[in-house]
Amino acid sequence: MNVVVCVKQIPDPADPGALEEDHTLKRTGKLILDESDSFGVEMALQLVDKAGGGDVTLVSMAPNDETSGLRTALAMGAAKAVLVSDPALAGAGALDTAKVLAAAIGRVEGADLILAATESSDGYTGTVPEQIAGVLDLPSITFAKHVEVADGTVSVQRQTELGYDQCESPLPAVVSVTAGVVEPRYPSFKGIMAAKSKPVDQVTVADLGIDASAVGAAGAGQQIVEVTPAPERQAGEIIEDDGEAHLKIIDFLDGLKVL
Amino acid sequence: MFEWSDEQMMVRDAVRQFIDREIRPNIEALEHGDTPPYDTLRKLFATFGMDAAARDRFKRQIDFERAVADATERGEAPPQKPGRDGDGGASSLTVIPIIELCRVCPGMVTAMGVSMGLTSAAIMAKGTIAQKERWVPELLTLEKVGAWAITEPDSGSDAFGSMKASARRDGDEYLLNGSKTFITNGPYADTVVFICKLDEGNPPAERKVLSFVLDRGMAGLEQSKPLRKMGMHSSPTGELFLSDVRVGRDRLIGETEDVARGGREGAKATFQQERSGVAAMALGIISECLELSVAYARDRVQFGQPIGEFQLIQEKLARMEIARLNVQNLVFRFVEMQAAGRDLTLAEASAMKLYSARAATEVAMEAVQLFGGNGYMSEFRVEQLARDAKVLQIYGGTDEIQITHIAKDLLRR
């Protein structure tokens, strides 16, 4: 079984970068694998392993030719990667990203399943996986907390607020996974050393037959007009225990509707 | 090289992530509780495939040795040892975990190094193929914990001169007696390399030095509880007591009493690995102390300004950075030399250890000073590193012994 995993390389959240003049995130310098994508990579590796054969292929896009983040996923065990690397992609929105990734997925032969994270840690639009499915005209299941594949069918436990839905879809399909789906492995030293020589197919949007004016800042059809800092966290409420504190805690939790 | 390569940085980051998740949160239990370090170390090994890599290396080595032995038996010319064209930088895969572990928990490196380094090396250096296969693979993967027992209550730096531990022949077997102390992993060791003198009734100075491999639970072998010590609390250290432990020749390393230079050379064979390992440990301690100190100098405000504005504090930071640069250069040089298939001389290895151990102790003590009252408190981390660093000047040959080795090596050329 061949699995494609859509992954994103992002600036290190531990060292948040500055913004460009158009309010988009500066993406120069070293980019790392979005941690939320490591779950999809791990899921893919386990599914291929269980199927007893096949490859995990990464698909990603970036305005530059940075591959550090891809190397991490290759070190975990992915076999190869397609990187759409084009300056025209700077300032891309969700839909044009989906179109580019869908075209890149088309370069991978015999993809049975396409996995993605629920959302990226830098953009948080959370719409790309379903848009990819839309562009490719494939069935799509979101919020997977458990994934199994058998007999050409993918079975997914789809996380809901109350529990989960049991969903099934014929393959090929697009599934977006949550951070709880599997525990990502650390890359082994051997894997790290092997990652350098694994193939990364670098293509431009033109190679994919896409007009550069339809993607990135030019084609996103959107503009970031303002960026404001997130509100400071409010101080918590301190309740002195006068013997009745537990009632106040119950009231508080009741107010949150968690009881 | 002046910095780690991209791959080496990935190794570093992966190990660092493991340590942040698996070791930092458990540091209290490892340092001050009853949690031995071995399960965490085994997890580290399995996670990064270090156990599988060690098994592969061992198999290749034994296959070659067996080919040599078979050819010799048939009276043919033995196969040539593959040309030594360097390790391709593979030593960094040992050095980087040592550095990263020592930022947080240097005792774990001591426990690991003695088990998979010293103990297995003693058997690999002089053992028969059967002995290597019997004991070494599980030591290399840490499935079994190893101890290397040389030091005695009355014999430290003068290890052989004052050694009282003895082996006496008894038919085809030997009876072993003696006590050993300051034995890393002693309390938990499954496999013990016991170094002693063959007592043939001759004067002690003329007795041959022999090494035997013992297993936990053998009749007459007693392993003490961990001793309390100044630092390295995550590395269990203990005493061993042998009372008429009966062993066959199969446990005598090399299965022969005919040992070169009376057996006194064998124990020194591992000096290069051990001493360069101490430099890597020192680099971890220094790097962590420096990072913590710079952050503290920025944040800590006294007399209305961050203490980093005071020149006496700046002097400490500057000296720490100089130490870091020097020790890092020594470690990089070692990695480069291994990659080039070159060995350190005794003087180089000893100088590397002497300088690095002193630098680590000085930097860590200065970090405590820079942190003031906070530095003396466990919460701020540097006091543990200062206590841990001190032993680098004592074990693996004291500073004083390193000085004599440097000088002797220079003078005899």
| Domain chopping of chain B, boundaries | 6-145, 147-261, 263-412
- Report the distance separating Cα B257 and Cα B269, nearest Å: 18
Tokens 């020749």 correspond to B249
Tokens 């190869």 correspond to A80
- Determine the residue type at B395: Y
Query: pLDDT, tens digit, for every residue of B117-164?
Result: 899 999 998 999 999 999 999 999 999 999 999 999 998 888 888 999
Q: Which one of A186, A192, A193 has the shortest CB-CB distance to B47?
A: A186
The C-alpha of B345 sits at a distance from chain A's nearest C-alpha, in angstroms, of 29
Within a 10 A sphere around the Cβ of A31, how many other Cβ atoms?
A: 22
> B314 — contact with chain A (CB < 8 Å)?
no
Rounded percentage of chain B residues whose pLDDT exceeds 90 = 86
pLDDT value at A125 more than 70? yes
A-chain residue closest to B16, CA distance: A186
- CB burial of A141-178 (b: ≥16 within 10 Å; e: otherwise) equals bbbbbbbebeeeebebbbbeeeeeeebebebbbbbbbb
Beta carbons of A122 and A25 less than 8 angstroms apart: yes
- Report the distance separating Cα A157 and Cα B236, nearest Å: 47
Q: What is the mean predicted confidence (pLDDT) over B224-233?
A: 96
The C-alpha of B336 sits at a distance from chain A's nearest C-alpha, in angstroms, of 17
Question: What's the pLDDT score for residue B266?
Answer: 52
pLDDT value at A234 more than 90? no
Beta carbons of A195 and A101 less than 8 angstroms apart: no
Q: Of the CATH numbers 1.20.140.10, 1.10.150.20, 2.60.120.10, 3.40.309.10, which one belongs to the domain with range B263-412?
A: 1.20.140.10
Beta carbons of A151 and A35 less than 8 angstroms apart: no
Residue from B31, B274, B288, B383 carrying the catalytic annotation:
B274
Query: pLDDT, tens digit, for every residue of B50-66?
Result: 999 999 999 999 999 99
Question: What's the pLDDT score for residue B24?
Answer: 96
Q: Which of A189, A192, A193 to mutate to test the interface with B (most CBs of B within 10 A)?
A: A189
Classify domain B147-261 by CATH number: 2.40.110.10
Residues of B in contact with A68 (CB under 8 A): 6
Q: Report the top-level CATH class of A2-220.
A: alpha beta
Q: Which one of A68, A71, A190 has the shortest CB-CB distance to B49?
A: A190
ipTM given for this complex: 0.86
Residues in chain B: 413
- Report the distance separating Cα B339 and Cα B279, nearest Å: 17
Question: What's the pLDDT score for residue A233?
Answer: 86
Give residue A155's Cα distance to chain centre: 20
pLDDT value at A26 more than 90? no
> A190 — contact with chain B (CB < 8 Å)?
yes
> A31 — contact with chain B (CB < 8 Å)?
no
Do A71 and B14 count as a contact with CB atoms less than 8 A apart?
Answer: no
Rounded (10°) CA dihedral A98, A103, A107, A110: 70
Question: What's the pLDDT score for residue B265?
Answer: 64
Q: Which one of B6, B17, B93 has the shortest CB-CB distance to A189?
A: B93
Residues of B in contact with A71 (CB under 8 A): 6, 10
Told to judge if B274 belongs to the known catalytic residues of this protein, a careful annotator would answer yes
Residue with more model confidence, A19 or B46 = B46
Backbone angles phi, psi at A89, to 5 degrees: -80, -10
- Report the distance separating Cα B198 and Cα B263, nearest Å: 10
The C-alpha of A249 sits at a distance from chain B's nearest C-alpha, in angstroms, of 29
> B88 — contact with chain A (CB < 8 Å)?
no
pLDDT value at B30 more than 80? yes
- Report the distance separating Cα B190 and Cα B180, nearest Å: 16
Residue/partner pairs of B151-159 with CB below 8 Å, 24 or more apart: B151/B180, B151/B181, B151/B182, B151/B183, B152/B178, B152/B179, B152/B180, B152/B181, B153/B179, B153/B181, B156/B398, B157/B397, B157/B398, B157/B400, B157/B401, B159/B195, B159/B267
Question: What's the pLDDT score for residue A243?
Answer: 87
Question: What's the pLDDT score for residue B82?
Answer: 67
Q: What is the rounded end-to-end Cα distance, in angstroms, of chain B? A: 29
- Report the distance separating Cα B328 and Cα B282, nearest Å: 9
Question: What's the pLDDT score for residue B241?
Answer: 98
pLDDT value at A239 more than 70? yes
Is the bond leading into B37 cis (omega within 30 degrees of zero)? no
> A75 — contact with chain B (CB < 8 Å)?
yes
For residue B63, what are its two tokens?
């296959």
| Per-residue DSSP letter, A120 | -
Rounded percentage of chain B residues whose pLDDT exceeds 70 = 97
Residue with more model confidence, A30 or B217 = B217
pLDDT value at B262 more than 80? no
Question: What's the pLDDT score for residue A25?
Answer: 84
Beta carbons of B91 and B338 less than 8 angstroms apart: yes
Question: What's the pLDDT score for residue B79?
Answer: 84
DSSP E strands in chain A: the ranges are 3-6, 9-11, 31-33, 56-62, 80-85, 113-117, 140-150, 153-159, 164-170, 173-177, 200-203
Residue with more model confidence, A16 or B370 = B370
- pTM for the model: 0.89
- Determine the residue type at A236: G
DSSP H helix total and E strand total for chain B: 14, 9
Do A195 and B53 count as a contact with CB atoms less than 8 A apart?
Answer: no
pLDDT band (50, 70, 90) for residue B185: very high
pLDDT value at B84 more than 70? no
- Report the distance separating Cα A97 and Cα A210, nearest Å: 12
Q: Calculate the average pLDDT of chain B.
A: 94
- DSSP letters spanning B75-130: TPPPPPPPP----TTTTHHHHHHHHHHHHH-HHHHHHHIIIIIIIHHHHHHH--HH
Residue with more model confidence, B217 or B159 = B217
Among candidates A148, A60, A140, which has minimal Cα distance to A100? A60
pLDDT band (50, 70, 90) for residue A15: confident
Residues of B in contact with A200 (CB under 8 A): none
pLDDT band (50, 70, 90) for residue B109: very high
Which region, left, alpha or beta, applies to residue A23 given φ > 0 means left and ψ of -120 to 50 means alpha?
left
The residue ranges of every structural domain in chain A are 2-220
Query: pLDDT, tens digit, for every residue of A143-169?
Result: 999 999 999 999 999 999 999 999 999
Do B50 and A189 count as a contact with CB atoms less than 8 A apart?
Answer: yes
> B18 — contact with chain A (CB < 8 Å)?
yes
- Determine the residue type at B141: T
B-chain residue closest to A184, CA distance: B47
Which region, left, alpha or beta, applies to residue B163 given φ > 0 means left and ψ of -120 to 50 means alpha?
beta
Question: What's the pLDDT score for residue A46?
Answer: 97
The C-alpha of B51 sits at a distance from chain A's nearest C-alpha, in angstroms, of 11
H helices of A52-93, in order, are 68-76
- CB burial of B127-149 (b: ≥16 within 10 Å; e: otherwise) equals bbeebbebbbbbbbbbebbbbbb
A-chain residue closest to B50, CA distance: A189
Window 125-154 of A, Cβ < 8 Å to B: none
pLDDT band (50, 70, 90) for residue B268: low
Query: pLDDT, tens digit, for every residue of A79-119?
Result: 999 999 999 998 888 999 999 999 999 999 889 999 999 99
pLDDT value at B237 more than 90? yes
CA angle B235, B238, B239 (to 5 degrees): 160
- Report the distance separating Cα B122 and Cα B354, nearest Å: 23
Contact residues for B70 (Cβ-Cβ < 8 A; gap 6+): none
Query: pLDDT, tens digit, for every residue of B187-205?
Result: 999 999 999 999 999 999 9
Q: Of the CATH numbers 1.10.357.10, 3.40.50.300, 1.10.540.10, 3.40.50.970, which one belongs to the domain with range B6-145?
A: 1.10.540.10
- Report the distance separating Cα B374 and Cα A198, nearest Å: 49
Question: What's the pLDDT score for residue B222?
Answer: 98
